[in-house]
Amino acid sequence: MHELTLFSRTGCCLCEGLESRLRALDLVGISITFKVIDIDAPGTPQEQRARYDLEVPVLALDGCELPRVSPRLTGEGLLNWLQRCLSTAL
């Protein structure tokens, strides 16, 4: 299984939209687990806050940052984009 991480912030419409679109996908079907890290949450490491403060939303696959995804991608387009990223990472 691969791990997809969304670095996000509560109240960010781009972050919340991307999270919603990702949760609607069958990520388990392509061997991906999904987690969200709110960079403003207590306990979030300071280096992550500093790194992603002005960049959210940021996706990382197995700890490697992915190119910024278009906010227009939904459903199958987003799933295909993730599969391309996954095949490139291998």
* Amino acid letter, 58: V
State the pTM of this model: 0.93
pLDDT in tens, 5-64: 999 999 999 999 999 999 999 999 999 999 999 999 999 999 999 999 999 999 999 999
Q: Which pLDDT score is estimated for 87?
A: 87
CATH of 2-89, one of 3.40.50.720, 2.30.30.100, 3.40.30.10, 3.50.50.60: 3.40.30.10
**In whole angstroms, what is the distance from residue 4 CA to residue 7 CA?**
10
Its sign, for the CA torsion 70, 86, 3, 76, is: positive
**Is there a contact between 32 and 82 (Cβ–Cβ < 8 Å)?**
yes
Kindly tell me if the per-residue pLDDT of 65 is higher than 70: yes
